[in-house]
Structure 1
Amino acid sequence: MKIAIIGSRGYPYVYSGYETLVKELSERLVNRGVSVTVYCHKALFLERPTEVNGIKLVYLPSIETKILSQFVHSFLSVIHACFTDVDVIFAVNSANGPFGIITKLFRKKTAINVDGMEWLRPKWKGLGSRYFYFASWLATKLYDQIVNDSEEMRKTYLDLFNKDSVVIAYGANIRKSEQPGLIEKWGLTPNGYYLIVGRLIPDNNADLIVEGFHKTSSKRKLVIVGDVPYKDEYSLKIKAMADRDARLLFTGYVTNQNELAELYHNAFAYFHGHEFGGTNPTMLKAMAYGSCILALDTRFNREMLQDDKFGLFFSKNEDSIAALILDIESMPVESQRMKYASSKGITARYTWDHVAEQYIEVFNKLRPQRKK
């Protein structure tokens, strides 16, 4: 079986949830005898080997702007893949919905992981929001199989587009703290800080969490890991908050995975403010790394944490966040209990091996039966 994967930045370029999915899935597919080709953004790779870890790599150019980069690259990738002998084209990101027209013309079997409700994200205002809604709707008409990453997102697609989908969550690898000293580079000590991890975009609500924290008299720090790869008012406004609260620490991107793991392991609690989307890879890491999780109260976060079994929730306002900080600091034993319990939420559903097996099942059902 031959699979082509489009819509990510490439392999092994681990940058966000989609790239992590492509990496973990591709490696496991190859180990199970599947031929995998991943399409990569040429500009992101100084070295361009044609194959890494048994995964075939194709590097194509794009127009490198915030809006056009992924769209143009995916368009070129689909065209290229349609002229190959791959059995199934697997796309990630609902923005690639319109390209199903091309695969239909070439009679290529397709699957698409549509991710979350991109049309609701504040960064896609006006035309961008309308495009994502249209592209998501079009994906349900043109692709052979829709994949969602949570039951709640499956319900959303049923309600909005009258289209059922296969639910395949993201995965995570459980690990324990091995090098706690790695956090010392930021002047941090175990349990001496709260943690936020994610892009500095409005729907991740880092500004709200910072404002809620600012209202407290906590002696701990608030560490914000992440940034955006461009300058905008929102990210600059959040980072400027450090000028009025010395307890705030912005690390920028942390690309060393051992350092990032230790930041999770040693935090007093992890704040998850992501508002839209289904199974969130950042939350999965917090669970797998044994964090005490404080999450925005959404149906997606409740599904992941099995309501309050593996986390506590706050409402979308500063006072709720401040009150939760006061509560958790008055219950240090409860914080430790939640740390111990959170990794138990990584059930078989959230393991990469199980994720890979589910995708293989989808691809096998789609691939054309070759004549003997």
Structure 2
Amino acid sequence: LLSSVHAAREDSYDVALFFIAGNSPLCLVTRMAGIPTVINVDGSDSDRRKWNRLAKSYLRGAERLSPRLATRAITDSHAVASIYKQRYGRKIDVVPYGAEVPEEHDIGVLDRLGLEAGRYVLFVGRLEPENNPHLLVEAWSQIPTERTRGMKLVVVGGAPYASEYINRVRRAADPRVVFPGYVFGPGYWELQRGAYLFCAPTEVGGTHPVILESLAAGNCVLVNDYKPNAETVGDAGVYFSGTEGVPDLVRQLERLLADPDLVASYREKALHRAELYSWDAVAAAYEQLLLEVSDAAGYGPLPMERLEELERVTTPANFRVVAPAAADS
């Protein structure tokens, strides 16, 4: 809010760019100041199970109104754009996320965690229900040690608001599972490069950067068949049925664990797939979008037919929406 008000008062910005649909009411601040405004809604945040009823209601309202309150609304996934079209009747544009692997720096993370390169399956993400680390831990516990060939499962991440859930996941894990907590920077990339395969059981959101980063690191990627995941991975990875859950995840893990040649073939495919998501291409797409928006003329009055609903559903308690006067055409 403070940044939005500052931008509006400065009156020296060509365009404003917001991220996350929940911030869409703030687009009013910059648009009322005459600043063309773009919002990247990210994924379908209202579908996350961590939100209570009030938060979900706010986010649904914010998602529904994002294309109205901004000059242009975008997302990083065509699957999410399709959700907006079906759920809210609004077309939004797509600019994908990017991923590039930094230069290699071995800082000894594998040694500290007691891991060997090529001898572990990797999960990275927030440890919360919609990312489904519990499914992976449960599936791993059902695979006999002889079929895992002595490999470990490494579950990287945390979530300060989900301690009860994390404790349940830890209690369900057997001794073959390692929980190092958060790992960032060079240590994270060392884990990515050294994994036998990467597994993303997540079922909510748009493009997940960690999946793109796994592709860019040349990993064999096993993902939930949730549509945005499939859009990201294409034919460069392996899928398990999110509907079936653990049984199919066990089958796919066992198939990959038993076939190193198949894993190697997917590593090659992953590297080729990642080339489609270079940051140079993403930056060029953003540059083109922002130039188009900033060069637009005659923005007209804001579409405020549903102001009462906006005030009731999407307005934070400390931010009162004032209907703007109609702009000159």
User: TM-score, with normalisation over the residues of structure 2?
Assistant: 0.84
The superposition leaves residues 122-180 of structure 1 with CA deviations (integer Å, 9 ceiling, x where unpaired) of: 00131111111100111111100111111111111111222222211111114576538
Counterpart check, 1:276 vs 2:207 = no
Q: Which residue of 1 aligns with 2:4?
A: 78
> What is the rounded CA distance, in whole Å, between the counterparts of 1:146 and 1:340 in structure 2?
35
Match of 1:173 among 92, 97, 100: 100
How many residue pairs are counted as aligned between the two chains?
290
Matches within 5 A, 1:1-372: 75-84=1-10, 85-174=12-101, 179=106, 181-217=108-144, 218=148, 219-242=150-173, 245-255=174-184, 257-306=185-234, 309-316=235-242, 317-348=245-276, 350-367=277-294
State the superposition RMSD in angstroms: 1.8
> What is the rounded CA distance, in whole Å, between the counterparts of 2:103 and 2:114 in structure 1?
21
Higher strand share: 1
- Structure 1: gaps spanning 5 or more residues: 1-74
Whether contact under 8 Å (2:18, 2:27) holds in the other structure is no
Closer, same or farther in 2 for the Cα pair 1:327/1:177, shift >3 Å? farther
> What is the rounded CA distance, in whole Å, between the counterparts of 1:254 and 1:240 in structure 2?
21
Code of the residue aligned with 1:314 in structure 2: it is: F
User: TM-score, with normalisation over the residues of structure 1?
Assistant: 0.74
SS of the equivalent of 1:240 reads helix
Closer, same or farther in 2 for the Cα pair 1:148/1:369, shift >3 Å? closer
Structure ID, larger Rg: 2
Code of the residue aligned with 2:178 in structure 1: it is: L
Determine what percentage of the aligned residue pairs are the same residue: 30
Closer, same or farther in 2 for the Cα pair 1:177/1:313, shift >3 Å? farther
Closer, same or farther in 2 for the Cα pair 1:273/1:229, shift >3 Å? same
- Shift in Å at residue 181 of structure 1? 5.0
Whether contact under 8 Å (2:127, 2:162) holds in the other structure is no
Closer, same or farther in 2 for the Cα pair 1:140/1:369, shift >3 Å? closer
The superposition leaves residues 271-308 of structure 1 with CA deviations (integer Å, 9 ceiling, x where unpaired) of: 111212222100000000011111001111111111xx
> What is the rounded CA distance, in whole Å, between the counterparts of 1:175 and 1:99 in structure 2?
35
- Structure 2: gaps spanning 5 or more residues: 298-329
> What is the rounded CA distance, in whole Å, between the counterparts of 1:181 and 1:190 in structure 2?
11
- Shift in Å at residue 347 of structure 1? 2.9
Higher mean alpha-carbon deviation, 188-197 vs 312-321, is at 312-321
